[in-house]
Amino acid sequence: MNNEWPLWEVFTQKKSGLPFEHAGSLHAPDKEMALQNARDVYSRRNEATCIWVVETKNIVSSTPEDVGSFFEPSNDKIYRHPNFYKTPGAAFE
Amino acid sequence: MKNTSEHLFEYCLRLGDTPLILGQRLAEWCGHGPILEEDIAMTNISLDCIGQARAFLTYAGEIEGKDRTEDDLAYFRNEREFRNLLITEQPNEDFAQTMLRQFLISAFHKHFYSELMRSADKTLSALAEKSLKEVNYHFRHSSEWLKRFGNGTEESRTRLMNAMDNLWRYTGDMFDMDETDKHLVECKIAADLDKIKTLWNKSVEEVFSEAGIDMPKDVFMMSGSRKGKHTEHLGHILAEMQSLARSFPGASW
């Protein structure tokens, strides 16, 4: 029997209007406890004004094998890369 | 007959000692929590309590006017001079008992601080407002656990009911009113504990019903904290808490 509680991913927002960022993960039996644990583990030092928790199994992620078909095609299309403004989160600017 | 300021000093000791001893008890879980997340939660709550204790004891020292600091009051008073509620010094035992103790006290503090916010004493009112935000979370956290113990497994429920047998008899002590309470209620400084008791009962009953458990009936209530009459546990807590400060008076980090 698996006695481990499910794993949850925690996202915190520093200030209203800012994007939520992944803070880390934790174990909890259900969503209310996950939210409370997230508050205790990831926002003890004023890091957040809002928290999202989502059970890890509900996250759909691309896999390392997808790298080629998903991301590389944009590398050689130079016209897609802006020269005069910054793209948030882009690997190179 | 004590004058108002002597009563107020006594009252502040009660307000400070209760979170101090509870915080010390909770700190015993540090590094021993059932899971990492809960270990952090309990020590967070402990730190909230110690913070409240510091503020009320500092104010007690000011009221007394004998230059005693929060540390003097915390570390250099003896057992009979402590005024913490009896329930705060009861042992952690298992996680169910720790959470039930937390719940019963947080339910009390939630209503107590709400009422104290209306105190004619501006310092007490401000400290109550700050503390209320913290205890609202403690109440939420411990209530959620109670519901899970009650509706969980046979074992979680048994542990909760054992804890109830150990702790319920100390709940009456929270509402005892002596001349200090009565005098300060008349001065509109203190919270009227008869009123708090009604509100406390309602909150506790609500959560108990969600947890599927009954309010205990006809339990003999222990009392004594107002007079500094404690259970055998407080002496041991103080021995641990005060030994460093007493061995090395004035030591600093």
The tens digit of pLDDT for each residue in B109-164 reads 999 999 999 999 999 999 999 999 999 999 999 999 999 999 999 999 999 999 99
Look at residue B203 and tell me whether its pLDDT is greater than 70. yes
**Mutation for testing the B interface, residue in A1, A5, A41 having most B CBs under 10 Å:** A41
Among chain B, residues having any CB pair with chain A shorter than 8 Å are 35-38, 40-41, 44, 137, 140-141, 144, 148
pLDDT of B218-232, one tens digit each? 999 999 999 999 999
Q: Mutation test of the interface with chain A: which of B35, B37, B133, choosing the one with the most A Cβ atoms within 10 A?
A: B37
Alpha-helical runs (H) found in B65-192: 70-75, 95-116, 122-151, 154-167, 179-186
Q: Do B40 and A44 make contact, defined as CB atoms within 8 angstroms?
A: yes
* Domain presence at residue A60: yes
B252 assigned to some structural domain = no
Residue range(s) defining the domain that contains residue A28: 7-80
Question: Residue A65 — very low, low, confident or very high, per pLDDT cuts 50/70/90?
Answer: confident
Number of domains in chain B: 1
* pLDDT surpasses 90 at B60: yes
B161/chain A closest Cα distance in angstroms? 22
Residue of B nearest to A44 (CA): B44
Which CATH number does the domain housing residue A25 bear?
3.10.20.520
Residue from the list B37, B141, B144 with its beta carbon closest to the beta carbon of A41: B37
B37 contacts A37? CB cut-off 8 A? yes
Which of A1, A36, A51 to mutate: most B Cβ within 10 Å?
A36
Enumerate the residues of chain A whose CB falls inside 8 A of the CB of residue B38: 37
Residue B125 lies in a domain: yes
Can you tell me the distance from the alpha carbon of B76 to that of A35, in angstroms, rounded to the nearest whole number?
A: 40
Q: Cβ of B71: how many Cβ atoms within 10 Å? A: 15
Residue A93: predicted pLDDT: 45
Size of interface A-B (CB pairs under 8 A): 28
- What's the token pair of residue A58? 């509900």
- Residue A47 belongs to a domain: yes
Number of domains in chain A: 1
**Cβ within 8 Å of B, A 33-92:** 33, 36-37, 39-41, 44
Domain containing B75 — which CATH number? 1.20.1260.10
Angle B113-B115-B120 from CA coordinates, rounded to 5°: 105
Residue A67 pLDDT > 90: no
Domain assignment of residue A36, yes or no:
yes
Q: Where are the alpha helices (DSSP H) in chain A?
A: 31-42, 67-71
The whole-number average pLDDT for the span A44-61 is: 92
* Residue B253 included in any domain: no
Does residue A92 have a pLDDT over 90? no
- The whole domain housing B221 covers 4-247
Asked whether residue B131 is assigned to any structural domain, the reply reads yes
Closest CA in chain A for residue B148? A29
ipTM above 0.90, yes or no: no
Let me know if residue A92 belongs to a domain.
no
Is the pLDDT reported for residue A11 higher than 50?
yes
Burial of B118 (0-12, 13-18, 19+ CB in 10 A): exposed
Q: Which of B135, B126, B130 is nearest to B196 (CA)?
A: B135
